[in-house]
């Protein structure tokens, strides 16, 4: 008699890669219905469930390629990158890269970035809740210590950057009916944005080049003394005061801390 381990190995393999005489021999042919037919119900459920999970996370990607193509794409993805968690929300993280490598999708060069945006939206939606930084707390920092301030971003934030207008593409594909799709010109160029959350709703905060660099340095744990010059490096017009005011008002930060004294202005430390 087959052990439990051997039984599960055979059935799991049959569901993922197709059956064979060894697995159908394990099963009863009852009521005149062949074992292979019976296995097929599970195979269908398995693929349909995971494909539905992908479609729920990637509705815009699915719309851009069409439902039929997306089903094929999902099937190929499931075969290549099986689920490794009982939490279905964790499934599908590699779809943007998978889309990017898919040769028949080369005509849609922006698709991988749209998918990456959708995964960022999905992650931000389920991220941890945190307090918003109380601006008043910063007022007590001595003037000479201010350059050592590190601002910690909300956990529910993700950076997206693309040479394509992915936010416009995403927005144009939120409408319910096909007729309502707006035209987006790829000539509109790329975008930097922070995907964040306001009152549990996911929103996009479009970022200037300097602003993007500033927030990324802060997110990497670097103090103002490092983040501000880094932002000025990429954008000489970067305005520290208005950028800080904007993100304090938006609630982009959850906390602050002070870098060690000798850490403040030293390039490359975090």
Return residues touching other proteins (CB under 8 A). 1-5, 7-9, 11-12, 15-16, 25-28, 30-35, 37-39, 41-42, 45-46, 49-50, 82-90, 124-130, 155-156, 197, 200-201
Cα–Cα distance measured from residue 150 to residue 270, given in angstroms and rounded to the nearest whole number: 10
Cα–Cα distance measured from residue 80 to residue 9, given in angstroms and rounded to the nearest whole number: 18
- DSSP per position, 167-191: HHHHHHT-SSSGGGPPP--GGG--E
Nearer to other proteins, 157 or 243 (CB): 157
CB 202 within 8 A of CB 229: no
Residue 29 beta carbon to other proteins: minimum distance, rounded to whole angstroms = 9
Cα–Cα distance measured from residue 212 to residue 215, given in angstroms and rounded to the nearest whole number: 5
Cα–Cα distance measured from residue 211 to residue 232, given in angstroms and rounded to the nearest whole number: 9
Query: Rg (Cα) of the chain, in Å, rounded?
Result: 25
Residue 52 beta carbon to other proteins: minimum distance, rounded to whole angstroms = 9
Nearer to other proteins, 46 or 246 (CB): 46
At 3, list the tokens: 């052990």
Residue 123 beta carbon to other proteins: minimum distance, rounded to whole angstroms = 9
Residue 40 beta carbon to other proteins: minimum distance, rounded to whole angstroms = 8
Nearer to other proteins, 142 or 201 (CB): 201
Nearer to other proteins, 88 or 168 (CB): 88
Residue 263 beta carbon to other proteins: minimum distance, rounded to whole angstroms = 29
Nearer to other proteins, 13 or 263 (CB): 13
Q: Cβ of 132: how many Cβ atoms within 10 Å?
A: 13
């Amino acid at each position: 008699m087959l052990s439990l381990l051997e039984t599960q190995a055979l059935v799991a393999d049959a569901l993922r890669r197709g059956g064979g005489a060894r697995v159908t021999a394990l099963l009863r042919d009852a009521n005149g219905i062949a074992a292979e037919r019976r296995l097929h119900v599970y195979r269908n459920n398995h693929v349909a469930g995971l494909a539905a999970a992908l479609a729920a996370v990637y509705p815009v990607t699915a719309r851009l390629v069409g439902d039929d193509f997306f089903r094929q794409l999902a099937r190929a993805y499931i075969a290549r990158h099986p689920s490794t968690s009982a939490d279905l929300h964790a499934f599908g993280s590699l779809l943007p890269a998978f889309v990017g490598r898919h040769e028949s999708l080369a005509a849609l060069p922006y698709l991988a970035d749209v998918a990456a945006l959708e995964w960022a939206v999905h992650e931000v939606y389920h991220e941890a809740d945190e307090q918003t930084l109380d601006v008043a707390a910063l007022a007590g920092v001595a003037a000479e210590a201010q350059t050592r301030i590190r601002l910690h971003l909300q956990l529910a934030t993700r950076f997206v950057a693309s040479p394509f207008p992915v936010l416009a593409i995403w927005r144009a594909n939120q409408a319910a009916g096909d007729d309502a799709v707006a035209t987006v010109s790829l000539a509109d160029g790329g975008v930097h944005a922070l995907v964040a959350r306001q009152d549990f709703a996911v929103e996009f905060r479009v970022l200037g080049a300097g602003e993007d660099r500033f927030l990324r340095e802060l997110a990497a744990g670097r103090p103002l003394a490092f983040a501000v010059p880094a932002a000025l490096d990429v954008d000489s017009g970067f305005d520290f005061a208005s950028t800080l005011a904007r993100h304090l008002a938006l609630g982009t930060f959850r906390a602050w801390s002070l870098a060690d004294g000798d850490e403040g202005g030293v390039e490359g430390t975090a």
